[in-house]
Structure 1
Amino acid sequence: MGRCSGILLHISSLPSRFGIGDFGPEAYNFIDFLNRTGQKIWQILPLNPTTPGTGNSPYSSYSAFAGNPLFIDPLSLVETGVIPAGDLGQIPAFPRERANYDLAWKYKKEVLDKAFFRNMEHIESDPGFILFCQNNQFWLDDFAVFSALKTRFNGAPWYAWPENARFKNQDQIRFINNNFEELVLKKKYWQYLFFSQWARLKTYANNASIIIFGDLPIYVSLDSCDIWAHPDLFMLDQANLPTQVAGAPPDYFSKTGQLWGNPLYDWEACAEQDYHWWRKRIEQNLVMFDLLRFDHFRGFAAYWSIDAKEKTAINGQWKTGPGAEFLSRIMDYFSPAQFVAEDLGHITSDVLELRDSFNLPGMKILQFAFGPDMPANPYIPHNHVHNCVVYPGTHDNNTVKGWFMNELDDPALARLQEYLGKDITLENISREMIRAAMASPARFCVIPIQDVLDLGPESRMNRPSTADGNWEWRMLPDLMNQDIEEYLQRFTYIYGRANNSQGESG
């Protein structure tokens, strides 16, 4: 794919009648918007299940393979004959501006339960369901049993379960499959519905010459099916609890560093199994996405290892990651053209060498570009290489307007204005930063939808290191208008990024 552009918008942020964005009509409408404005990329965040206990973060899931049933569209279940329209019941008056995960799940769970019980008798003879289970057996069987156990123990983390359930074994799996057969089948069926709807949506995008750009979190949560089913791949003790956990060292922003708490991989054990779990995980993601971002790519070069007993990240130490050996094995099965390296944060030469040795595009963030070192700054457009992805900001940054209002000091504003050659105000900052990103030599340009819509700090998606109120922002359907479409289409055309079907219009 040549020079192109696209939009960052997570599924949860789409408009919808059901309390959270989903795979419904507005997702198809958004693809149509991308097509009309000449975009080639739709970037989203991970689609794995979320939980209130981790702030509904898509980066803290209880499965690295499963899909989030919250994204299943009830209307599509009616259209495809899975349920009659009456099963939708009384749709609550959900708020439009924020995703309400709890209320949305309360409603959707009722609908999904009805879908399961209406179809239960013939699910296991459905050729589509049989094929889905065969193709996803590596993770689906474990996930369904794990989910059934979680339900049986009232949602408690697996490490609080009775000892005979805490350690995966064949006797226990037989017991669950025999005694909770209906519950195990339901968990599989919900996944079947999720992946069926996602496949239809992705096909619609691909038929419009739009690729889906997904995200692969490097770590998994302690309370996850992945740790429970594959404890030998992680740094755990005899009770399967972590001995070493992930985080980031102290820096300018945090004197004590960041203690993420995710169990670290036992990379030697992963290598002994020829990285099989990793290969299956990436294979699963590349069925779902056309392009995949390695989140926290620097962790493959070296990672910050913290003793699990520590209260902060101060006393951690750098450990060598699996590096070129791991990526070489991965690239025996996949193409480097399918990946992007998230190379932000504390980046050292070994990270850049690892990225470049596999010709992976890195990321350039314009909000980082206007410091005192501006002429030599790697994020300033004139220093961008072709093989990278440029963003005004990502889901972890403020919106451009919020950045201008709250984070850009006077010297940086002066540098920004000198660089762009014009007075920059609250009224024009979003479009001028989009223009600068579009004009970059970078092969890929991705714009958060909040910046396309010129929204302020109240529309920020995530504030790293804060626990509450993240991942909730939603796009109101009436924010899109003809002016926005025309300027986006025009910028995309002027800077040589237009979808091949777009001519000089607008």
Structure 2
Amino acid sequence: MKATFKIHYDTQFGQQLCIVGSLPALGKGNDNEAVEMAYLGGGIWIAEVDLSKTRAKSFTYNYILKDKSNGIKYKEAGAPRVVSLDSKKYKKLAFQDAWNPFHETENAFDTAAFDVILQTKAPKVKAPKLSAKDGDFSFNVNVPRINPDYVVKVVGSTKELGEWDINAALPMAYDEENDLWSVTTSIKKSHHKLKYKYVLVSTKDKSLVELEGGFDHMYDIQENDPTLLVKFSDHRFEYNKQNWRGMGVALPVFSLRSEQGLGVGEFLDIKGLVDWSKETGMRLVQILPVNDTMATYTWVDSYPYASVSVYALHPLYINLEAVGSLKDKKKMTKLNTLKQKLNALDTVDYEAVMNAKMDYLKEIWSEKKASFLKGAKVKAFLKEQNDWLLPYAAFCYLRDKYKTPDFTKFEDFATYDARKVNKLFAAASKVKDDVNFYVFVQYHLHAQLLEASEYAQSQNVVLKGDIPIGIYRFSADAWTAPHLYNMNGQAGAPPDDFAVNGQNWGFPTYDWETMKKDDYGWWKSRMTHLSQYFQTFRIDHILGFFRIWEIPIDSVQGLLGQFRPALPLHVSELENRGVGFDFDRFCKPYIREHFLGQMFGDDTDAVKHEYFDQKWDGAYNFKKKFDSQVKIQAHFAKLLAKKDADVARLEAIRESLYSLHNEVLLIPALGYTDGLHYAPRVTMDKSRTFNELDAGAKYHFWELYVDYFFKRQEDLWSAQAMEKLPAIKEATNMLICGEDLGMVPDCVPGIMTELEILSLEIQRMPKDPTISFGHPGNYPYESVASPSSHDMSTVRGWWTEDREETQRFYNEILGNWGEAPQDCEPWIAEQILQQHLYADSMWTIFPLQDLLAIDGEVRRESAEDERINIPAIKHHYWRYRMHLSCEELMKLKSFNSKLNGLITASGRNSSY
């Protein structure tokens, strides 16, 4: 048997197209043994391979492009092509293929998200009878966007293909395993050229839905050989129809409200939001991270991005009734009374809810623990999740025992030892019930989130998760694998309009070099775990995969951070510009007499006496016991704890002392100890130390600043992302959106496009620094458009923050004449919604608050009560709740009908 492979691919000088497959003749899956193809010209590559020694009944293959100038290999997207071999019938195989590009918009429709939305229900098709006299032709095409009521047919120039009569087109069968429409038929050599196209046909009335666009597919029929099989792998149906676009709603799970709730949203309440989404024509529900954050057992744990495990789910979201009822009816009555009290609250009382749920769970565990581990479903859960579940449960037990998540205080367990941990679960262990309690809780959380996810899928609604960029410093993850993290640094973000001092998340940064050694196994495992529940997800701060903002361990604010990795400045770069390097002037806090009075007012003398040592007349250094922001933080924590503390005055002094620590120009570069390599302080131009340089020094410092932050790092950061993101992306079939806001390197958009990661477009945070607002009409297709995020005020809240900004937005972006209303009236909120609905973006996702804003009778009375988070406040209380229950949302027939009409009219509720 001989096989001929032919494909069109336009290459550049030095590039070689190859085939690699599962057979020995195709390199047996080894890229280095791939078969090199011959170039025929005109972009056509061909290879002939002898398969006579092959005994396999099938094989797989795909194409790769090798760049011989640099050794880089480029692979196709998607799964390899599958070929069944019938050596008795066929002696010759001819493959006419199309390259499956990675950076192709339509690839998004091969993801799990669109498996939910664009479900295929193809009827069985009787295969054509093959002729013993003629050659056979196999037609194969991927049709990602298709309505359940549509089927695919192939129509063409020969009698077997209907001679271009759609009514006589050849029906194709759907291969669910390979996501292909296929049919094999014999064709007589009645024409030298076979021409054909694929067509979508409605099963309801047999009518034509869409004929494939573009040029006809063509093939030269050179022989009428019954031992020949020609297989066309035409990659994708070429649509004439405009791009598919969808609409979704975003809301944290804790913000959901149901009539039978316990004062907080729960996993099973997602079903109610799914029902409302379907009712209004929306296809997606987006939530915030739902991992366990229980570290302090206080409201501080309400912050959803500081999880104690990247796998474990938060007990906050468990529905107690679904776990089971207590035998003690008095306790059940007490719980029901508490439910009514907590559910009536406008906001989440995190501590009260958590206490109630944990008390109940411990009670019901005491009733069910004897039989729990014997259940078949529980055993299956343990087998699947064992690797992370047991260490997590042990961590929780030890956290409770030692009353701290700081595992360095766990005595004999301070250093993780799997053998010691496993002994805690042994039959003879005195604490087996205590550790298995957390297994019990996780089992029920898993079952409930899975139930909500499967329900959403059954309603053709996609569930979108959120993956934090960091891990909590004192987490089960850091305890079990500290070698994967830089525990002596802190991750955060440089300053932006919403946090002028930057953000310090307190998370350790990743040791990417160590993670790389097993091909990012930790990340792949994390992605696979998420894919149980979600079909798409948002990567929080995707810029962290290019470079992370690492802050010294003794800093509180984010201004003294620097990018890691980065190419630092060398002192010679200053000296070559005629600026002598002065460590004391450039690298130590710049504290001078002439501005201290402006900062501290009447407290100036007291502050100088307590916190500073005089360096020379008019110049000061911090005293050793106050020479870091962390030391100042600890000092003021004690002062503020006193009953008679003058809180406002003390906080003002503390913040001013923090700002003095930020008065530096250069920060020692990470990884260098020679005193010669530095990073410029971010927003240097806003500092006193910069503005009091002479004009020449200012010019040269700023020149180096711009080079460091916006020029010299691009190639390095691009290479970093292209090492990490492909491995992580390929771990699952989820659709990925990257939160790419903030100080965005120029290389980011290109990399995200290349990897088919959707960008996030927020109207008030445009990517173009020369404009104040983004216009949805200018957004790229591969993006998610939104008016705001959980880190921002809602549209209504923002409207009253800056009158000048509001007026400009009202006139320039909304196109309205005259003076803007004082408040964001419903018709204005509707204008903003309409703008986003008609954006080119694949997805428009609105926070629930901004959707309800279009109706004065439906929306919350106070816009201030709708905000979820304020990033500038490190320990913000995340407690926002819907003012309406999901049940009440479903009863808003007039509002729901209007919203559905707006979404449908925009084309965001189309069938395919």
Q: TM-score, normalised by structure 2?
A: 0.51
Partner secondary structure for residue 262 of structure 1: strand
Moved more, 106-115 or 315-324: 315-324
Asked if the contact 1:55/1:468 (under 8 Å) is kept, the reply is: no
Partner secondary structure for residue 800 of structure 2: helix
Partner secondary structure for residue 551 of structure 2: strand
Q: Deviations over 1:428-474 (max 9, x none)?
A: 23222111111111110101011112241221111112145532111
Distance 1:255-1:445 versus aligned 2 partners, 3 A rule? closer
Asked if the contact 1:369/1:378 (under 8 Å) is kept, the reply is: yes
Asked if the contact 1:4/1:40 (under 8 Å) is kept, the reply is: yes
Aligned-pair Cα RMSD in Å: 2.4
The structure 2 residue matched to 1:88, chosen from 332, 346, 355, is: 332
More strand by share: 2
Match of 2:480 in 1: 229
1:372 and 1:339 map into 2 onto residues whose CA distance is 25
More helix by share: 1
Q: How does 1:269-280 map to 2 (within 5 A)?
A: 269-280=514-525
Q: CA deviation at 1:411?
A: 5.0
Moved more, 381-390 or 482-491: 482-491
Q: Does 1:267 align with 2:495?
A: no
Distance 1:256-1:447 versus aligned 2 partners, 3 A rule? closer
Q: Does 1:342 align with 2:739?
A: yes
Structure 1, gaps ≥5 residues long: 236-241, 502-506
Q: Does 1:476 align with 2:883?
A: yes
Q: CA deviation at 1:250?
A: 4.3
2:788 and 2:557 map into 1 onto residues whose CA distance is 28
Asked if the contact 2:490/2:550 (under 8 Å) is kept, the reply is: yes
Q: Does 1:77 align with 2:472?
A: no
Q: Deviations over 1:328-374 (max 9, x none)?
A: 22234324x52111111111112223212201100011233599944
Partner secondary structure for residue 531 of structure 2: helix
Asked if the contact 2:527/2:731 (under 8 Å) is kept, the reply is: no
Q: Does 1:153 align with 2:402?
A: yes
Q: CA deviation at 1:414?
A: 3.1
Q: CA deviation at 1:170?
A: 3.4
Q: Does 1:433 align with 2:832?
A: yes
The structure 1 residue matched to 2:449, chosen from 194, 198, 220, is: 198
- For 1:430, the aligned partner's letter is A
Q: Does 1:390 align with 2:390?
A: no
| Higher RCO (CA < 8 A, seq sep 6+) | 1
2:416 and 2:911 map into 1 onto residues whose CA distance is 51
2:256 and 2:495 map into 1 onto residues whose CA distance is 36
Q: CA deviation at 1:210?
A: 0.2
The structure 2 residue matched to 1:102, chosen from 351, 365, 383, is: 351
Asked if the contact 1:402/1:457 (under 8 Å) is kept, the reply is: yes
Asked if the contact 2:799/2:806 (under 8 Å) is kept, the reply is: no
Match of 1:128 in 2: 377
Q: Does 1:289 align with 2:550?
A: no
- For 2:517, the aligned partner's letter is E
Q: Does 1:6 align with 2:6?
A: no
Asked if the contact 2:255/2:265 (under 8 Å) is kept, the reply is: yes
1:314 and 1:306 map into 2 onto residues whose CA distance is 8
Q: Deviations over 1:6-55 (max 9, x none)?
A: 1001110111431211134x432222111111110000001111343644
Asked if the contact 1:8/1:448 (under 8 Å) is kept, the reply is: yes
Asked if the contact 2:300/2:876 (under 8 Å) is kept, the reply is: no
Match of 2:764 in 1: 367
Match of 2:469 in 1: 218
- For 2:754, the aligned partner's letter is S
Q: Does 1:67 align with 2:478?
A: no
Q: CA deviation at 1:165?
A: 1.5
Distance 1:499-1:448 versus aligned 2 partners, 3 A rule? farther
Distance 1:291-1:110 versus aligned 2 partners, 3 A rule? same
1:384 and 1:329 map into 2 onto residues whose CA distance is 27
The structure 2 residue matched to 1:307, chosen from 547, 552, 560, is: 552
Match of 1:41 in 2: 284
Aligned length: 486
- For 2:402, the aligned partner's letter is F
Asked if the contact 2:503/2:871 (under 8 Å) is kept, the reply is: no
Q: Does 1:413 align with 2:659?
A: no
The structure 1 residue matched to 2:843, chosen from 444, 456, 466, is: 444
Q: Deviations over 1:165-198 (max 9, x none)?
A: 2110135314433231111111001000001111
Asked if the contact 1:12/1:71 (under 8 Å) is kept, the reply is: yes
Moved more, 440-449 or 423-432: 423-432
Partner secondary structure for residue 532 of structure 2: helix
- For 1:290, the aligned partner's letter is Q
1:60 and 1:372 map into 2 onto residues whose CA distance is 31
Moved more, 223-232 or 492-501: 492-501
1:206 and 1:85 map into 2 onto residues whose CA distance is 37
Match of 1:238 in 2: none
Q: Does 1:245 align with 2:490?
A: yes
- For 2:736, the aligned partner's letter is F
Asked if the contact 1:388/1:444 (under 8 Å) is kept, the reply is: yes
Asked if the contact 1:215/1:294 (under 8 Å) is kept, the reply is: yes
Partner secondary structure for residue 491 of structure 2: strand
Partner secondary structure for residue 179 of structure 1: coil
Match of 1:173 in 2: 421
Asked if the contact 1:395/1:462 (under 8 Å) is kept, the reply is: yes
Match of 1:20 in 2: 264
Identity %: 24
Asked if the contact 2:837/2:903 (under 8 Å) is kept, the reply is: yes
Q: How does 1:489-500 map to 2 (within 5 A)?
A: 489-498=900-909, 500=911
Asked if the contact 1:400/1:430 (under 8 Å) is kept, the reply is: yes
- For 2:897, the aligned partner's letter is E
Q: TM-score, normalised by structure 1?
A: 0.90
- For 1:486, the aligned partner's letter is S
Q: CA deviation at 1:380?
A: 1.5
Match of 2:211 in 1: none
2:768 and 2:523 map into 1 onto residues whose CA distance is 38
- For 1:400, the aligned partner's letter is V
Match of 2:750 in 1: 353
Partner secondary structure for residue 432 of structure 1: helix
1:338 and 1:254 map into 2 onto residues whose CA distance is 30
Q: Does 1:458 align with 2:865?
A: yes
Distance 1:12-1:253 versus aligned 2 partners, 3 A rule? closer
Q: CA deviation at 1:254?
A: 5.2
Asked if the contact 2:777/2:838 (under 8 Å) is kept, the reply is: no
Match of 1:29 in 2: 272
Partner secondary structure for residue 314 of structure 1: coil
Match of 1:58 in 2: 304
Distance 1:53-1:167 versus aligned 2 partners, 3 A rule? farther
